[in-house]
Structure formats: structure tokens, C-alpha cells
Structure 1
Amino acid sequence: MTEFYTPKQACRFPVLNPFDPSILKFIQHPPPLKCSRLQPELTYAKKNKVYLEETLAFKHELTKLQYQYFRRANGSDSSIFYNPWKSFPSSGELSLSHWSGVVLKGTYNKTFSYSNIYASIEPLYDRSKDKEDVQAEGYRPNVVIIGIDSVSRSNVIRNLPLTYKYLTQEIGGWDMRGYVKIDDNTFPNMVAVLTGHKATVQKSEFKLKPQFEFVDEWPFIWKNLSNIGYTTMLAEEQPGIFSYKAPGFKKQPTDVYLRSYESIERFMENQNSLNKPYFVFSFLWKLSHDITYEIEKLDEILVTWLEKIHKKELLKNTLLFITSDHGNRFDKIRSTLIGRYEERMPFLFMRPPEEMLNRFPTIENALTTNLYRMSCHYDFYETLIDIVKGEYGNVKRPRFKDRGYSLFSEIPSTRTCKDVQIEEHFCVCQEETSLSINDPLVQRSAKAILEQINESLNPVNERCLSVQNNNRYHYAQLLTDKNVTNIISFVRVTLQTTPNNGVFEGVVQVTQASSTNSKIIAAITGYDNISRINTYGKAANCISLTHRYLEKFCTCREAGF
């Protein structure tokens, strides 16, 4: 991997080959998911009502059909309140208004049980009672964001080929080549998209600690959009970004808030019929989180859905994003140099509606220029702020903490990781030279990483085992920086440890007294600059609720390693 994008910009990230020879042995193509119906479709949903399919119901002798409304319980992202069971209306239709959804049950063909679940796609609460339903002036497109956990651009090309082809050749848009993550895992990257802030479980620009406190008061972008008349929807696959080992939301954060199932297409159709703008943020993670190629099982399903909403013209006035938080952090490809870059370069595809491009012709040029510039999650946020402000590509408007740029305006070619506050460890802008594993720089750097890990474990040393190097392998990569002399270097080392065969990667700043003095001082600036690049399963369960930020380092003494 020796090819880099244009030398005319400060961040010369590499041109990644999704089928590089060094990763071919890890590439697999699992069979697609084949979902067959186990019961006839005796009911169906249209807009925000459920209907009885009378012909099929008669054919299959459907009896005792009942319904049970449910609603999210206030104060918990994991609890549901259920209403008593009632007989399905004789009219053959059932409204979902003022509920989160409904469960159906009945008997068909005399002995078979029928069941189904339908989500409401209308706001649970009437906002007009609290304030005027203000419709913002100016051009405001719908916004739909479909996020998929742990998917790099290369991963999409390899394992979502049908989806990638349809996006780029049929829907059309911009596939951002230089989109990089700002931090390690899902939480800080998606918080940056939705609030513009920098936040991790342990360190945050917010006063609240998300592991222990509700995040309702955070300045989520859907609040801004709600204030100018958008109907908002948050539809994660299951509690994840804000609710993983954390309280999440006390109150329902958006007008429509779904868990475990989605009805985005119905929501879009309903909002279009009401002629109201809307915002959708959906996030999927189960298929892709642990094994890179497993996401291919979603390919046919996702491309079919995209084709449906495209042909129904639901994208006509919709700014569509298909994106990810980061690349895969734990798969076997991650143990390669290509895999390390992929982990740091997630997928971002965006497609502005035709009317937006016609109204604001500078957008197209800016997006094309930014295609090969370093972009990140802060830029995504600023792009959404353009929608809120109704100012598309206005370079003069204030930017939050001066970190991000709207993708509708040109990103400077001089931009570096420091400008975006991306740690050296996660930066993709460096050029590298190999070092021998036996080089004193590497040996001292590996020792510095181990010292930092064990120092970080001090608060939990009664529960977690200390870490030792078993010297199995290193990346042995030297990073050079054009802004420093040969006295200071950055060394990236990957090492495998005991117990539990943990594989860690870190960037260490190495200082030599002079070019002729062999004394080496290696230092690593905190545990955030060390990544765990293989899975640890339940080995750290003993500290998950108290010291979640140390899970990647901890192997519980009780785990038996």
C-alpha cells in the first residue's frame, strides 16, 4: 500500500484497495439471509392504522384476534408498558395513534397461533399543546440517516456490493473517500454527528456522565430540527449508542422512537402525505459489529428497501446519508496494516435531492472537492446545522468550536488531525516506515504501552489481572511527522499479551537525547491512545458497570485465565 491521495493537501491518507492481497485470506462471502414467512399475512399496516386482510383471514379461518397496545415506559430505554388485551375491532381497522405500537395474536387454521407487531409512525405526544407548530421559512429538505456499525468504505465495496452499486449508479451521490473517525468506538463518533461535541464514556465536554446519568439534556440535532417544524424519528436496532450499559433517555427523545423493529418507509410516506419535513436517524449494529463480512447478509435486504423508497419517490426531497461510526475494530482483517486504516475510515455516502442542487449550485462543487479531503463526524454535524439554519455552504456562519466544516462548503486542503482534535493514534495522515521488531525504539515503545495499561488498571487491580507481553507480533511501523526533527518520532506498535491473548495497538512518542545518543524515552499520553483490536467477550464483566472505559484492558481474576 504505497499510493496516497494528492500531495497538494496536508492529510495524504492512503488509497485503500478493498481487495488488497494482504487481506484476501480474510475475505469471505456468507450466504444472504433468506427470510420465509411462517404465517400468512392476515393483517397489514398502512400509514398509522392496522387492517385485517379479510380475504386471507376468511381463507385461513382466523379466530380470536386480539390486540394489545404498548408504550415505552418513562424513565427506561428497556421497559415497555402494555395495555390489557382486547378483541380486534369489527370494523377491521385499528388506529395506532397515541401509542408506541401494538401486538396482535389470534388462531388460524384451527390450531396455529398468529402473532404480529406494528409500530406507530406518528408522534406519541401532541407538541402543539406546548408550543406553536412552527414551519421554518426557506428550503428545508427531509433528512434520513441510515447508520451501520463498524463498516468501512472498503467493507461496503466488498460486502455490500449490490447496495453500493445501487447507491452510486442508480440513486447517485457522493462517496466520501477521506471520511475518518474522530475517536475509538461508536459513542464518541455518533455523539459528534448528533451534537457536535467531543465525548467519551470517561472524558466529555458535557458535565453529565453518560454511564450513570440520562442524556436528555444534551443538545441533539433533532431538537433543533423539531423547533423549526420537523417531525423526528430515532430508530436504533436496539438500545445501543446511548443506552449500552448506561441509562440512555429518561423521556422519549424524538416524536417517534422505535426499538427492535423499524417502520421508516411508512413514516416517510405518512410525513409526505402531510407535507411536513422530517428527520430520521436509524442505526444497525448486530450483523456488522464483530465480523466484517457478516454485513453481506444484509445486502439484498438493504438494496431492495432502497429501491422501494427510491421508486416511490420518497427520496425526491430527501437528503440521504448512509454512514458508519468507524470500520471494524475486532475482525481478523484488523490485524493487518490495511485493516488498521479501514478501522479509522468509515463509510459516508450522501445524496442531496435534485432541488437542493438546483437551488444552491455551489454545493455540487464543494462536495466534489471534499470527496478527497479529510472529512469527519464534526463535518457531518455542521452539514446538519446548515439544514437547521437554512444556509447551505455559508462559509461565514459560526462553526461550533471551529472543528467542523459543512460538507456543502470547501474543506481546507491544509487541514490536519490536530485541527480536528484527532489523537495521533487515530490519525490516518502520517507516512510510515518499517522498523525491526528488535529495534530499541520498538522494544521501549512496547514497554511503554504495557506500563500505561497496567497503570490504568490500578483502580481495579483487585478485580483485574495485570498485563504481560508475550512477544508474539508487532506492526513495527515508524511514523514520521513533517513538523518535528529526527529527535522525536512516533512509533506505532501492536503487541499480543497475556492473559486472554489481548492484542493492543498504541502510538508512542519517542524522544532521543540526540541523533547520536542512544538513550530512548518513550511515553504514551493516556489509555485513550491504546486500542484493543481483538474481542474480549465477557472477560471484563466484573468492571463493566463501574469502570466501563477500562473494559478493553481488564481480564477479571474470576474469569479463570
Structure 2
Amino acid sequence: MGSFHYLRRGFIEKPTDFYGRPFMMASEKEIGGPGNSRGHFCQGNVLSIKVVQDYALEFARTFHSTPFFGFFWSSSLTHDHLNLLELTDDHYFQYLQQMEKIGALNNTALFFISDHGMRWGGIRSTYIGMLEERLPYVVLYLPPWFRKKYHQAYEHLASNTHRLTSNFDVYETLLDLAYGRFADPAYVTSTPSRTKRGTSLFRNIPWNRSCVEANIPTHFCSCQDTHELTEEDPYLVPAADRFLDMINDQLLPYSQCEQFTKIKVMSARVSIPNKELKPKEEKSEVRTYLLQAALLPGNVIVEVSMRHTNHDDSFQMLGNASRINKYGSTSACIQDDTLRKYCYCKDQKRAKQLYNQHYKEQLGTEMKQDADSFCVSLVSLSHCEGAKVSVVTAVATSPGGDVALLTSCRGNSVGQTLPSGLSSAKVLVYRRRRTRAPLVSVYLLVRNIVKEV
């Protein structure tokens, strides 16, 4: 799902030259497999993440001699489950072995990244769970020759493993790779701006970089010493009550959402920021209260940072609160991305209907929009006797294998060109925009799962 698609329409036009999402959506619908609202664990009897890995491998193999950027994302096993990641160990090992075998690891920078850790579940209610959400995973592999030839850039990369970094820095690193800035010694050794949003990992990031300088919001900053609060703390109840008032004020214009009548604090921590984290304009003592609380009715469990300023005894909510329990359809009656995390719809039956309706509309709209642009190329089949269509598209997942397969159909009908084992595969037919030529998008023809279907 992700930032572009969850409760959104997605892209009208494909965002990249090769776009695999329509295939994955069609595969989930037509082949299916166990899963949940966040995605299917399997496509048939193959792990979904294995399908993505095979797609990435075929992509690297096909464009071995051509510069490319590929972004391959899978969260089906890990988004909602703490302990299922181990199921991918062997698959990742095999993927890396194959990447090495085809020589891709000798000319490719390989990033393994995450956008965040677990956002809900039992562990998320713990202090370790709070850190897990705020500290996403990142590993970067560079070929051995790169490390030697551009040793200064690589030395900075190695030292930056002990620095405060974020995905803003990963983005700048990708730009350096795209534009070749890592090869410029003057650039690599220059002092990075401490006010820029991100800094390339090929440059030396200061050891004392603060969350403010790294553009990490205070609510998500993990560089503060905190300690647990007891119920006797005089500011605990006022902080919780002030947060409750703020949320209700935000929801007041939306009559379809409940007004919360009670807040139950589940845990609380407090931090006193050091000089680097303390706002420059703030001369008075400030404390930040990190509260985990349930809002009732609806059992809306949130985590919020409330800053207390001593001189005027005021509270300020830092950024937006994090929703740390699942809410699914319970907030589907509101479209605002921020308030959706807090809203508990008064009419839950209607909210569920809206949620299901939106999912179906999104599925249909995306598949129709992307049907044409999904495929690698159009292959004329006019030489095929008895062919039911004049044009067939070859799927992006395996351009070499499937193009060859679909063009070797002399004397055969389109249906007879399908490999054995896929004769019953459902074929989705669309009419190409602005033309009358019929198309067949064979979503299920993926070389890597042919044996499994």
C-alpha cells in the first residue's frame, strides 16, 4: 500500500518506466493467498516478497549493462507482524547469491531500507517499541572496487554508521550516486551545511548532530534522555487533559466523529532537552512529556509529545500524535489524513461500508489506469493464424522470457501460446486508450512463478 496508495487513488500515469504494482494487485486478486488488509503473504504458494525479489533480480539481469534505478518494496510479512521476518532469511540469502552470480553486485549500489519500525501491537506499547518505530533499518552495500577507488567517500560512509542519520540522508546519497558527486574529492571533504534537510552519507556528518539539524521532529527524536513518570507527577494530568482538549477542538468541525469524553494514560515519560535540542528562543525551563493514552469512546490509543513551558505554565503539542493501535475502517468517515488517526466514527456500520467501497474503487481504478502503461512493449501477432487479438502486451516482470514466449506463436492461437500449467490462467482484457485495438494483459505470466501455479 504505502504513502501513495493507502486510502488514496495512486498514480494516474505510471511513475516509472516499469511499474509492477498493477501486476501485484491483479495477482493478489486472481491467484490470491493468505494475508490481511495490508497485503497477501503469498501469491499462490510463493511468498509475495519472493515474487518481488525475483522481479528485482530479473530487472537487474535485464539491465545489467544499463544504468538504472529500481525501487522494490514489500511489507506483507513485516508490517503487522514482529516475528515473520525470519521467514525471508533464506530468500534474501538466495537473492544475494543470484545477484552476485549475475555480476550485479559488482556494478550496483544496493540499499536495504525501511520507513519505520512496528507502529502497533504489544511491543509498540513498550519503551523499546517506541524506539523501534523511530529507528528504521538501513544497510548499504557498495562493490569492493568502489570502496578502494573512492576511499574518502567510503570512509565517511563507514564513520557515519555511528552518527545520527535519517532517510533524508539516504535520499541525498542516491542523488550523489546519480550525479557522480561522490567522485569529487572537494565535494566529499567539504563541510556539509547543518541547516540543509539531508546530508549525503558520502560526506562527514558531525558526531554531535542534533535532531533539529537532521530535520527529525521532536516527537520522533530518540536522542533524549527520558525517565518514567509516576501518577504523582503534578503535570501528568494537566498534560493529558490539555491534549484531550486539543484533539476534540480539531475534531469539532467534523460532526461524524465522536467527541472524546475521557483519556486514560497508560504510560508516561519525561525529558529535559539538552542545549542542542532546546529551542533557541526558549529561555525558560521546558520539559517534554511523552504520553501513551487511550481516548474514549473508541479506545483510540495514541502517543503524543506535550511540551510544558515553565514561565507561563503552558502546554504545546509537538507535531502530530502517533496512532499505535489498529483503526482500519473505524475512521473511514473522514478524509483528512491527520485527523483520520484520531477520529472514531459515530456510525461504525456506515464507516465500514465506506472503507470497503473505497478499497474496491481504488482497486478497479488503478488496474484500469495502469493496464496499458504496465507492460514492457506491444508485440504484433498478426502472423499468428487464428489469433483472437492483433496485439498482445508482454508483462514487465520478465521482459526477456515472456516477449520471446509470446512472439513464438506462428500457427497458434493466443491461448495456445500460454505455457502448460497456465492454461486456466485468467486473462484481463482492456481496450487501449485512443485506439480500437484490443489488448490482452497477461498479468499471471511471470516466469518466476510459472512452476508454482
Interval of TM-score (by shorter of Structure 1 and Structure 2): 0.5 to 0.7
SS at match of 1:493: strand
Question: Could you report, residue by residue, the CA deviation over 1:171-193 in whole angstroms, capped at 9, with x for unpaired residues?
Answer: xxxxxxxxxxxxxxxxxxxxxxx
Distance 2:328 2:6 in 1: 15
Cα displacement string for residues 6-50 of structure 1 (whole angstroms, at most 9, x for unaligned residues): xxxxxxxxxxxxxxxxxxxxxxxxxxxxxxxxxxxxxxxxxxxxx
Contact 2:164 2:214 in 1 (8 A): no
Which of 458, 465, 468 does residue 258 from structure 2 map onto? 465
Partner of 2:106: 316
The answer for the alignment partner of 1:267 in structure 2 is 59
Structure 2 residue 326 is matched with structure 1 residue 535 = yes
The equivalent of 1:558 in structure 2 is 347
Could you tell me which amino acid in structure 2 is paired with residue 457 of structure 1?
Answer: L
Distance 1:245 1:399 in 2: 37
2:289–2:306 contact (8 Å) kept in structure 1: yes
Residue 397 of structure 1 deviates from its aligned partner by: 9.4
Match of 1:406 in 2: 200
- Amino acid in the other structure paired with 1:550: L
The SS at the match of 2:235 is helix
CA apart distance, 1:296 = 2.8
Cα distance change of structure 1 residues 453 and 315 upon mapping to structure 2, 3 Å threshold: same
- What is the match of residue 9 of structure 2? 247
Counterpart of 1:491, as a letter, is Y
Name the counterpart of 2:317: 524
SS class of match (2:302): strand
Q: Which amino acid aligns with 2:316?
A: A
**One-letter amino acid matched to 1:388:** A
* Cα distance in 2, alignment partners of residues 487 and 355 from structure 1: 52
Structure 1 residue 451: deviation in Å? 1.6
CA contact (8 A) 1:480 1:489 kept: yes
- Check if 1:291 corresponds to 2:291: no
Could you tell me which of 369, 379, 382 is aligned with 2:169? 379
Query: Are the aligned partners of 2:257 and 2:346 in contact in 1 as well (CA < 8 Å)?
Result: yes
Deviation of 1:384 (Å): 0.9
Mapped pair 1:351 → 2:141: yes
2:90 to 300, 304, 325: 300
Aligned mate of 1:449, from 231, 238, 243: 243
Q: Distance in 2 between matches of 1:401 and 1:353?
A: 31
SS of the residue 1:448 aligns to: helix
With over 3 angstroms needed to count, the CA separation of the structure-2 counterparts of 1:472 and 1:549, relative to structure 1, is closer
- For normalisation by structure 1, the TM-score amounts to 0.52
SS at match of 2:330: coil
- Structure 2 residue matching 1:304: 3-state secondary structure: helix
Q: Which of 512, 524, 532 is the matching residue for 2:310? A: 512
2:222 corresponds in structure 1 to: 428
Query: Could you say if the C-alpha distance between residues 442 and 472 of structure 1 is closer, same or farther in structure 2, counting changes exceeding 3 Å?
Result: closer
Equivalent residues of 1:494, 1:506 under 8 A apart: yes
SS of 1:497's equivalent?
Answer: strand
Amino acid of the residue matched to residue 19 of structure 2? Y
Establish whether residue 495 from structure 1 lines up as the match of residue 257 from structure 2.
Answer: no
- Please state how far the C-alpha of 1:330 moved relative to its aligned partner: 0.8
Cα distance in 1, alignment partners of residues 178 and 239 from structure 2: 47
State the SS of the aligned residue for 2:338: helix
The C-alpha deviation readout for 1:191-233, integer Å capped at 9, x for no partner, is: xxxxxxxxxxxxxxxxxxxxxxxxxxxxxxxxxxxxxxxxxxx
- Match for 1:435: what amino acid? L
- Cross-structure match for 2:19: 257
For 1:283 and 1:531, how far apart are their aligned partners in 2? 23
TM-superposed CA distance for 1:322, in Å, is: 0.6
Find the residue that maps to 1:523 and give its secondary structure: strand
> Are 1:500 and 1:536, in contact at CA under 8 Å, matched by a contact in 2?
no
RMSD in angstroms over aligned alpha carbons? 2.3
- What SS does the corresponding residue of 2:124 show, helix, strand or coil? helix
Inter-partner Cα distance in structure 2 for 1:339 and 1:369? 27
Aligned residues: 310
Q: CA deviation at 1:453?
A: 1.5
Aligned to 1:507, the other structure's residue is in SS state strand
Secondary structure at the counterpart of residue 291 of structure 2: strand
Identity %: 31
Preserved CA contact (<8 Å) 1:423 1:529: no
Matched to 2:243, the amino acid is I
The alpha-carbon distance between structure 1 residues 400 and 264, as it changes in their structure 2 partners (threshold 3 A), is farther
CA distance in 1, matches of 2:253, 2:293: 23
CA distance in 1, matches of 2:105, 2:289: 47
Cα-to-partner distance string for 1:225-246 (whole Å, 9 max, x where unaligned): xxxxxxxxxxxxxx53312222
Q: Deviations over 1:255-281 (max 9, x none)?
A: 211121542211211112xx2112110
Q: Aligned equivalents of 1:494 and 1:398: distance in 2?
A: 37
Secondary structure of residue in 1 paired with 2:293: strand
Partner of 2:272: 480
The answer to whether the Cα contact below 8 Å between 2:78 and 2:85 also exists between their aligned partners in 1 is yes
Match for residue 279 of structure 1 among 59, 69, 76: 69
**Greater mean deviation of Cα atoms: 373-382 or 490-499:** 490-499
CA distance 1:310–1:499, shift in 2 (3 Å): farther
Structure 2 CA distance for aligned equivalents of residues 553 and 327 of structure 1: 20
- Residue 252 of structure 2 contacts residue 259 of structure 2 at CA under 8 Å; is this kept in 1? no
Q: Given residue 2 of structure 2, which amino acid in structure 1 is its aligned partner?
A: G
Q: Going by fraction, where is helix more abundant, 1 or 2?
A: 2
Cα distance in structure 1, aligned partners of 2:258 and 2:293: 17
Deviation at 1:470, TM superposition (A): 4.5
Contact 1:382/1:399 (<8 A) preserved: no
CA drift of 1:492 comes to 1.1
Q: 1:401 to 1:252 in 2, by over 3 A?
A: farther
Q: Which of 331, 336, 357 is the aligned partner of 1:547? A: 336
**1:411 Cα deviation (Å)?**
0.6
**Structure 1 segments unaligned to the other structure (5+ residues):** 1-238, 514-518
Higher strand share: 1
* TM-score, length of structure 2 as denominator length: 0.64
- For 1:398 and 1:523, how far apart are their aligned partners in 2? 32
Contact 2:290 2:305 in 1 (8 A): yes
C-alpha contact (below 8 Å) 1:317/1:354 kept by paired residues: no
Runs of 5+ in structure 2 lacking a partner?
A: 25-50, 352-453
Deviation at 1:408, TM superposition (A): 1.0
After TM superposition, where is structure 1 displaced by more than 6 Å over at least 4 residues in a row?
397-401
User: Distance between the aligned counterparts of 1:375 and 1:472, measured in 2?
Assistant: 32
Task: Write the distance in 1 (CA, Å) between the matches of 2:175 and 2:194.
Answer: 10
Superposed CA offset, 1:309-330 (max 9, x none): 2233221111001110011111
In structure 2, the CA distance between the partners of 1:400 and 1:309, relative to structure 1 (3 Å rule), is: farther
| C-alpha distance in 1 between matches for 2:313 and 2:232 | 14
Q: 1:369 matched to which residue of 2?
A: 159
Deviation at 1:487, TM superposition (A): 2.7
Q: Distance in 2 between matches of 1:313 and 1:384?
A: 21
The alignment partner of 2:132 has SS state of helix
